[in-house]
A and B are shown apart, each in its own frame.
Chain A
Amino acid sequence: MNDPANPVTVEACFTSPEFFTTLRTPLERGRFFTTHDDRHAPAVLIVNQAFARKYWPGEDPLGKQVAVSVLGTGRRMLGTIGFRNVVGVVGNMKQEPLDVPSSPVVYLSFHQDETNHVYAGLNLFVRTTADPRLASGTVRDRIHSLNPDQPLEDMRTMDEVLGATLARRRLSLVLMGSFAGLALVLCAIGVYGTIAYSLSQRTREFGIRSAVGAARGDLVKMVMREGLWLSGMGVIIGLGFSLVVARAMEGLLFGIAATDPWTFVAAAATLMSVAAAACFTPAWKGSSVDPALAMRAE
């Protein structure tokens, strides 16, 4: 890692001591930065779990020394290369899209910044106890009381930040969910219609079965059995197709495999429940046939 011939480039953030506590980032090992981690103290570094796992698998990152050079726009080196001691390991924070695994990140103390803060921008995170939207004016006033010329832009709550990040994915999900719901309703209507039509053709049969001893429950059970057998066949065929088509959805999924077995079980169970409900109503109606009338209707 410290070989100048093969430098490693990772994401880096200069952070204040309160950064991790404000964002409630879990501390896995060591410590967070403190106000004492300034230019007079030994240079320190915090890495995330992804970094520790990638570069020091099975090793204790604490106390490791890393030669760090900070690159700016166009990979321009900002400041000089200096060794920093790893003093902490924090949990991974999502800085990429949800479906992209967390990449290695190093965190540097804001007070040990030899680049003299040559940044494209600075993010200020504020945690409030009340509604954060009401706190924006207070934050703005506080900043301008320190530096009236400080430009401020893009003040957003974290929920808004997350919402914007997930908006496209959420739209896809809502659209797909709506289509899936519509398909489920059509499926229920289809099963209901098919069973109801089939039963309307079997009035005489029901009359005969009643006359030779079938109770209403027997007829309902028979129709349900037939309906669920057909639906079961449909679900099995559908699951086969789904296994193939699900691959196309992989890009829309996060934290779950396209072939997750429990999802398939839940989908099959939902479909069978809908089919059972769709079968029951016509089965119950059909079984109420008056046997004497049904047989005379021939």
Chain B
Amino acid sequence: MIQLKNLDKSISQGNGRLFILRQISVDIAAGEFVSIMGPSGAGKSTLLAVLGMLDGDWTGEYRFLDHVVHKMKPKDRVALNKQHIGFVFQQYHLLDDLTVAENLDVPLSYRNIKKSERDSLVADTLDRFGIVAKKGLFPRQLSGGQQQLVAVARALIHKPSLILADEPTGNLHSSQGKEIMELFTELNRGGTTIVQVTHSETNAGYGKRVIELRDGWVVN
């Protein structure tokens, strides 16, 4: 599903350049559950942003399914992201002024889906995640675990084939974290490819493979 070859990511610093990712060559097959680990500043979140096409400022080769991403225009990358990728973030990143139901509708509103169909998808997702009772509440009225549950629901509502999760349990109690990881495992069993960034050996244990980064290099 994902093939990275000699991918570099750097930013200018003073007269030179600071490399954040160096010569990254990674293959991730469809249906895998992969964890990216490493110390802070190793480039884990940056790699996730590159995989999710949120960051287009890099060099090297990136193939996603049948698409040659490194040759695609930014607009086409956004379209590819829209079609195949869902994001889950450590800080949930729900929109504060929108209710739970409205937050779930946001990704659908950018996907040329009729309003009636969107409403139906939101209702199904609320039901599937057991948050129907919360649909009219705002994020600040939810616990951290509930917010992350909504964030996962939002990432899945358009049925992506790849979930990218950046420390999805980082702000949760262990019991809430366990629930989220079990949810990921269940999704992975259903065929969704999952790539997560984590510091937790326990969470990495839910995956089938670990990619370890250090100072921008893949070391394992």
Decide yes or no whether B214 CB sits under 8 A from chain A. no
Contact B93 A292 (CB under 8 A): no
From B45, B75, B107, contact of A215 by CB (8 A): B75
Contact B78 A213 (CB under 8 A): yes
Interface residues on B, range: 20 to 34
Decide yes or no whether B135 CB sits under 8 A from chain A. no
Contacts of A60 in B (CB 8 A): none
A 280-298 to B, binary, CB cutoff 8 A, 1 in contact else 0: 0000000000111001101
Q: Which of A107-115, A177-185, A202-210 contacts B (4 or more CB under 8 A)?
A: A202-210
Decide yes or no whether B183 CB sits under 8 A from chain A. no
With contacts A208-B93, A210-B54, A212-B154 taken as known, whether A292 is within 8 angstroms of B46 at the C-beta atoms is yes
Of listed B52, B87, B155, residue having the most chain A CB within 10 A: B87
Decide yes or no whether A81 CB sits under 8 A from chain B. no
Interface residues on A, range: 10 to 19
From B46, B91, B110, contact of A295 by CB (8 A): B91
Decide yes or no whether A226 CB sits under 8 A from chain B. no
**Which parts of A230-247 form the interface with B (CB within 8 Å)?**
none
Decide yes or no whether B140 CB sits under 8 A from chain A. no
A60 to chain B, nearest CB (A): 70
Contacts of B55 in A (CB 8 A): 290, 292
Decide yes or no whether A211 CB sits under 8 A from chain B. yes
B 48-64 to A, binary, CB cutoff 8 A, 1 in contact else 0: 01001011000000000
Contacts of A290 in B (CB 8 A): 54-55
How long is the Cα–Cα vector from A95 to B20 in the complex, in angstroms?
83
With contacts A210-B54, A212-B87, A213-B107 taken as known, whether A205 is within 8 angstroms of B75 at the C-beta atoms is no
Contact A298 B91 (CB under 8 A): yes
Contact B54 A215 (CB under 8 A): no
Decide yes or no whether A28 CB sits under 8 A from chain B. no
B 75-89 to A, binary, CB cutoff 8 A, 1 in contact else 0: 100110110000101
* Interface SS majority for chain A: helix
Contact A212 B107 (CB under 8 A): yes
A 210-228 to B, binary, CB cutoff 8 A, 1 in contact else 0: 1111111010000000000
Contact B110 A215 (CB under 8 A): yes
Contacts of B93 in A (CB 8 A): 204, 207-208, 211, 295, 298
Cβ-closest chain A residue relative to B87: A211
Contact A208 B95 (CB under 8 A): yes
Contact B78 A292 (CB under 8 A): no
Decide yes or no whether B115 CB sits under 8 A from chain A. no
Decide yes or no whether B111 CB sits under 8 A from chain A. yes
Contacts of A204 in B (CB 8 A): 93
B18 to chain A, nearest CB (A): 15
How long is the Cα–Cα vector from A265 to B130 in the complex, in angstroms?
52
Contacts of B46 in A (CB 8 A): 292
Contacts of B81 in A (CB 8 A): 213
Decide yes or no whether B106 CB sits under 8 A from chain A. yes
With contacts A292-B46, A292-B49 taken as known, whether A211 is within 8 angstroms of B54 at the C-beta atoms is yes
Contacts of B95 in A (CB 8 A): 205, 208-209
A202 to chain B, nearest CB (A): 10
How long is the Cα–Cα vector from A218 to B110 in the complex, in angstroms?
7
Contacts of B155 in A (CB 8 A): 212
A212 to chain B, nearest CB (A): 4
Contact B91 A212 (CB under 8 A): no
Contacts of A291 in B (CB 8 A): 49, 54
How long is the Cα–Cα vector from A298 to B75 in the complex, in angstroms?
26
> Which residues of A are at the interface with B, using a C-beta cutoff of 8 A?
204-205, 207-216, 218, 290-292, 295-296, 298
